[in-house]
Amino acid sequence: MRSSSLIAAAIGFASLAMIVLSMWGAKRFIVRAPADYFVRPPPPRSVGARVMRTIFGSVIVLAGVAMLVLPGQGVLTIVVGLLILDLPIQHKVAKWLVARPAIGRTIASWRTRAGQPPLEMPAEVQSARVD
């Protein structure tokens, strides 16, 4: 019985750590992203950088899938992992997320508090927003 309690405590601690780190990382990325992040084309990446992003993104997606049955934010982790991967649909998914009114307001408040200019949005995202 003692080892199962230790395993449960470790899983609980790992879940809490993942929640805190994912929220911290998301906020840090959003605050540090250039204002024209969504209107400029994605930068070209070297083969090594693409391989590393693919490996790292795949690990994050797999962790998110595991969190669907274990404690943690599985869906959010899967989305973050997919955004890390070099997929053709990556920017479309990010624009769709930012077009959600609640997410857009949160991003705007984080950037305002950090003294950063608001993110520039393409016309299709601005027309989809209903703030």
Token pair of 98 as six digits? 């930012």
Provide the token pair at 9: 């405590």
**For helices 74-84 and 47-67, what crossing angle results, to 10°?**
170
Expressed as residue numbers, the domain containing 89 is 2-128
Q: Where are the alpha helices (DSSP H) in the chain?
A: 2-32, 47-67, 74-84, 90-99, 101-113, 123-128
The residue with tokens 């927003």 is 129
Comparing 35 with 124, which gets the higher pLDDT? Answer: 35
Q: Report the SS3 class of residue 57.
A: helix
Q: Look at the chain and report how many structural domains it folds into.
A: 1
pTM over 0.75: no
For the residues 40-69, what does the mean pLDDT come to? 85
Element spanning 118, H or E: none
Would you say residue 131 has pLDDT above 60?
Answer: no
Rounded to an integer, what distance in angstroms lies between the CA atom of residue 58 and that of residue 50?
A: 12
Query: Tens of pLDDT along 63-95?
Result: 888 888 876 677 777 877 877 887 777 777 777
Return the pLDDT at 125: 59
What confidence score (pLDDT) does residue 1 get? Answer: 54
More confident residue, 49 or 11: 49
